[in-house]
Structure 1
C-alpha cells in the first residue's frame, strides 16, 4: 500500500495517482540524463504541458509538487489557470504555442513566460499590451531550427538580427530561446544549434526537448524541457481540437 506521504498517492484515498507517478518517472529521467551529461539536475526545469487536459489534471500535478505548466492556447489557459493560481499562488504558466497578435494582451495578462516570440508584429503587439497591462512576462524567442514552412519560429538566417532587436527592445525580459526540431530527424544538431545561438547572445534559458527527446536535449544544454504525454497521458478525445 502506498504511503500517505508518497506524492504519487492521493492523500484522500491513498490510491496511486497516475499523474503523480508520471511526474516522478519524468523527474527521475531528467535527473539521470543530467547526471549522464555531467550536469547538476537542478539546472534543468520541467514544464508540464497540460494543453487539452482539464483543470483537475493540472491540480493533480500541483498536489504532486509540480509548479510550472505549459499551455498552447490563450483561451484554454484563461479557462483553467486563474482559479488554480488563486489556490496555488506559486504556480507558473508558460505559453508555448504559436501566439496570434490579437491574443497578445490576454497572454501578457495571464502568462509568467511566453516561449513563442517569433516575429516583429508579435513583438509590437506584446509591447503595446505590456504598456496597457503594466507588466511583461519573461520572453523566449522561438527559432525554427529546421526552417519548416508550416511551423512557427523565426528562420535560422534571421534569428541573430531578431534576437538583437528584441533584446534592445525588451532588455532582460528576453531570457532565452526555444525550438521544436523537425519530426523524424535526429534532434541533437537542432538542440546544439540553439545552444550555440543562445551562447552567442549571452542568453541563459534554452527550452528544448519534449517527451520523446528530452534526454538528448539535456545532453545538449537544455535548461527547460517541455513534457506532456509522459505526465498526463494521451490527449483526451473530448478536449481535442482540430
Structure 2
C-alpha cells in the first residue's frame, strides 16, 4: 500500500480504520481540525484537501482570521473548543457553528440570551470534568444532571458531551465514562479524543475528534 501523502490523509485513514474495527458506519466520526495559533496560510492546504470542520480555542483569535477565510470558503463549519467567557457569548454565537465547552449555569444564561438576540441556535456540547481535575474546566460529574436540565429549560440545542481526560494516564476509562454519561442522558454526541488518543476514543464511541498537532505539527 502506498503511504498517505499528507497528514490529513493519514488521519482520515486512521479514523476510517478505527471505525471499521469498532464496527461503526464509515464516515460517522467528524474530524475537527484544531487550528488554534495557526495562521490562515497554514490552514489553506487543509481546506484545499477538503477539510471543512475547524476548531478554535479563543473567540478573539477566531475573529481575527476566520471571517475572510469563511467568505472565500463558505462551506466551512467553525467549532469553539476552548473555554468561553460569558461576556463573549454573543460574539461566539455570531462567529461559530458549534460550542464544545458549555460548563456552567452562568454560561447557559449568557448563551440563551445571545442566541435569542442573534437569532441563531447553535448545537452545544456540555464539557464534563471527567477526571475531576481542579485546574481544568468542565462541569463536575455530580452537577451534570442539573446543568443539562437548565440548558434544556433555556432551549439550548444540546448535542452531546465533551471531555479532556487527565494527561499521562490511560484515557480509555474516561472515554468509556463519558460515553456512558451521554447514553444515560440521551445525548448522541461525544466530543473526545485528540492527536494521541483519538483511535481509542473512536473505539469507545467518539462522534467528534479534535486533532491539532497531528495535522499542523507542534505548536
Please say whether Structure 1 and Structure 2 have the same fold, judged by a TM-score greater than 0.5: yes
The within-5 A match list for 1:1-242 is 21-171=6-156, 173-235=157-219
Task: Answer yes or no: is the 8 Å Cα contact 2:36–2:56 preserved in 1.
Answer: yes
CA distance in 1, matches of 2:69, 2:116: 26
CA distance in 2, matches of 1:89, 1:230: 25
Which range moved further: 106-115 or 198-207?
Answer: 198-207
Stretches of structure 2 lacking an aligned partner (at least 5 in a row): none
**Cα deviations by residue, 1:66-112 (Å, 9 ceiling, x for unpaired):** 00000000001111111111111110000000111111111010000
Q: CA deviation at 1:29?
A: 0.7
Moved runs in structure 1, 4+ residues, more than 3 A?
A: none
Task: Answer yes or no: is the 8 Å Cα contact 1:115–1:178 preserved in 2.
Answer: yes
Q: CA deviation at 1:202?
A: 1.3
TM-score by length of 2: 0.95
**Cα deviations by residue, 1:207-234 (Å, 9 ceiling, x for unpaired):** 0000000011001000000000000111
CA distance in 2, matches of 1:170, 1:144: 23
CA distance in 1, matches of 2:192, 2:26: 15
* Paired residues, number: 216
Q: CA deviation at 1:142?
A: 0.3
Helix, strand or coil for the counterpart of 2:154?
A: helix
Helix, strand or coil for the counterpart of 1:98?
A: coil
Task: Answer yes or no: is the 8 Å Cα contact 1:145–1:194 preserved in 2.
Answer: yes
CA RMSD of aligned residues (A): 1.2
Larger Rg: 1
Q: CA deviation at 1:34?
A: 1.1
**Cα deviations by residue, 1:24-51 (Å, 9 ceiling, x for unpaired):** 0000110111111111231111000000
Helix, strand or coil for the counterpart of 1:41?
A: coil
**Cα deviations by residue, 1:98-150 (Å, 9 ceiling, x for unpaired):** 11111111101000001000000111111111122111211110000011111
Q: CA deviation at 1:164?
A: 2.3
